[in-house]
Amino acid sequence: MYSSKKLKIGLIGGGPGSFIGAIHLNGALMDGMFELVAGAFSSNPEKSKQRGEEFMLDPSRVYATYDEMFAKELELPESERIDVVAIVTPNNVHFDPTAKALQHGFHVALDKPLTLNYEEAVALYPIVQQSDKRFLLTHTYAGYPMIKQAKQMIAEGKIGKIRKVYVEYPQGWLWKLLESEGNKQAAWRTDPKINGLAGCMGDIGTHAFHLAEYVSGEKVAEICADLYIKVEGRPIDDDGVVLLRFENGASGVLMASQTDTGVENNLKIRVYGEKGGLEWQQELNNSLLVRWPDAPDQIYRAGTGYLGSNANENTRTPAGHPEGYVEAFANLYRNFARCIYADRAGETPKPEWEDYPGIEDGIRGMAFIDHVLKSNESNLKWTPFIVQK
């Protein structure tokens, strides 16, 4: 099925000092299916040029703007131009390059969340749906093998009908007003004009929300949100709690904070059904704890022979060798590439390959942010979860 030619990436964002740009590239390049050939790495042309030199790219394919990149790349023969646009910019520069890339005939890999606000998400949805190109939204945690295992076990009815979902995402890095100390990451993530009107809930709460629906297989029907600003002087939330009601009658609690002082990045999810329960946390990501009412707890481990097809498809090393964050990105990019190759060959991708986040996940994530903000402002609190498309 595979072509001998790598898929060519044009990167938007990821300039000097970028965190997420480097993570995307490390993940994309891990399996040898992609190569970086072009980019518009910064809104500052000099910084874009500098980054292109660091990547040892052809200077003629290092662009001052993404509009220039699209125009110039389309002038090249199809065999030479970029195939995929990877967008790793702040949230306020998601909608426009994504829409234009798809309209120009490029596949798109976009860092989450989908857009700056829900209105942009609603506008982007039909553009993605009408395109014949692939679209990946990098909700990273869907790429972990043991998250795949949990999802498959629940889908197969191993723990019965879902009753309860707990998901929490504690961080502590914004424990003080870092944005006033020249911290670039803190500055844009706490600026509503760049990040959006939800701070913590927009940045990491969307990850928690996606994981709750992805793993459980259930959709949220109503939410009740309570947001906080723990650090004085910060304009948008840095902490919050959301109660969840799912369509099947299950209840849930979502907690997210970036001011839990001393905590690193310990995303956790617990799902309990009529027959048993599953628990996973990122800081012990190669393990999945399975609980039963009438038997001892079990610990499932990545890389072992007893896991399901989806976990095995996304496991890279034998048991005991740690896989983590970058490998989760790589799994998303590899599945994305496999589907592109299959499309080109006129073949049907394996279901495990198509199991990566896309536009449906993206618009639900933006609806989550919108509904959280409305619920937080409402005296009634409980807010029906309605996704406009």
* pLDDT given at position 17: 81
Mean predicted confidence (pLDDT) in 350-376: 96
Q: Which residues contact 229 (CB under 8 A, 6 or more apart)?
A: 235, 236, 237, 238, 239
Q: What is the DSSP string of 356-388?
A: S--HHHHHHHHHHHHHHHHHHH-SS--EE----
The reply to whether omega before 77 is within 30° of 0 (cis) is no
pLDDT per residue as tens digits for the range 8-23: 999 999 998 888 999 9
**CA–CA distances in Å: residue 138 to residues 35, 132, 156, 369, 383:** 18, 19, 25, 17, 27
Number of H helices, E strands in the chain: 13, 14
Contact 121, 114 (CB under 8 A): yes
The pLDDT, as a whole number, for residue 322 is 87
Residue 62 DSSP symbol? B
CA gap 282, 268 in Å, rounded: 6
**Which of 92, 66, 72 is closest to 12 using CA atoms?**
66
Q: Sketch out the chain's domains with CATH numbers.
A: 7-141 (3.40.50.720), 144-323+364-377 (3.30.360.10)
Task: Return the structure tokens found at 138.
Answer: 């990098």
Are the C-beta atoms of residues 225 and 381 closer than 8 Å to each other? yes
The half-sphere exposure of 322 on its side-chain side, counting CA atoms within 13 A, is 7
Residue 135 has pLDDT above 70, yes or no: yes
C-alpha to C-alpha distance for 228 and 233, rounded to whole angstroms: 12
- Residue at 55: amino acid letter: F
Contact 169, 226 (CB under 8 A): no
Contacts of 118 (CB under 8 A, 6+ apart): 366, 367, 369, 370, 388
pLDDT in tens, 147-189: 999 999 999 999 999 999 999 999 999 999 999 999 999 999 9
Q: Which H or E element spans position 100?
A: helix 95-103
The pLDDT of 93-99, averaged and rounded, is 98
At 388, the pLDDT band (50, 70, 90 cuts) reads confident
Per-residue pLDDT reduced to its tens digit, 273-282:
999 999 999 9
Using only C-alpha atoms, the chain has a radius of gyration, in whole angstroms, of: 21
Q: For the residues 331-336, what does the mean pLDDT come to?
A: 98
What pLDDT score does 381 carry? 80
d(CA 222, CA 251): 10
pLDDT over 90 (residue 304): yes
DSSP 276: -
Specify the pLDDT at position 18: 85
Closest CA to 303 of 146, 173, 141, 194: 146
Give 205-221 pLDDT, tens digit per residue.
999 999 999 999 999 99
Task: Please tell me what DSSP assigns to residue 205.
Answer: I
pLDDT band at residue 202 using 50, 70 and 90 as cut-offs = very high
Specify the pLDDT at position 3. 58
Distance CA 126, CA 114 (A): 13
Task: Of 320, 303, 322, give the one whose Cα is nearest residue 311.
Answer: 303
| Rounded Cα distance, 201 and 124, in Å | 21
Q: Is residue 380 pLDDT above 90, yes or no?
A: no
The β-bridge relationship of strands 7-13 and 34-40 is parallel
pLDDT at site 122: 98
Mean pLDDT of 25-45: 96
